[in-house]
Amino acid sequence: MDSERIRIERTLLIVKPDGVDRRLVGGILSRIERKGYTIECMKTITIDRELAEKHYAEHKGKPFYDKLISYITSGPAVVAVISGEGCVGGLRYLMGNTDPLKAAPGTIRGDYATNVTKNLIHGSDTLENAEREIALFFGGE
């Protein structure tokens, strides 16, 4: 009998200011836990401009960059480290397409997001970015 190797991954989750403002944090976290993922640690912060610019560095120079920075720094956000089998891709699937009009019903964005900028939630897109983003938000903790 072959044993399957289970790959436990860690990823960064951000419930963005619109999700906090609309009081959707509990519902979003509940969906993540019901999927079988673990919330390893979590905190509520207001992301400052310096941290936002580091987090979104790959978007610098794009037309939406300034709007993105203004939005993510506009109020409290909940940041968390999520772990579980295949959770980087799994969480992104659960989140749905960045554009809520293209996000499938049953996904977080498909059910709750209102537009591309205010799309409620962020999840790391690769294992490498997950490591970098977790270090940015939870470095010394």
**Which residues are catalytic, by number?**
122
Q: What three-state secondary structure class fits 85?
A: strand
Q: How many C-beta atoms surround the C-beta of residue 71 within 10 A?
A: 17
Q: How many C-beta atoms surround the C-beta of residue 2 within 10 A?
A: 4
Q: Pull the structure tokens for residue 141.
A: 């903790």
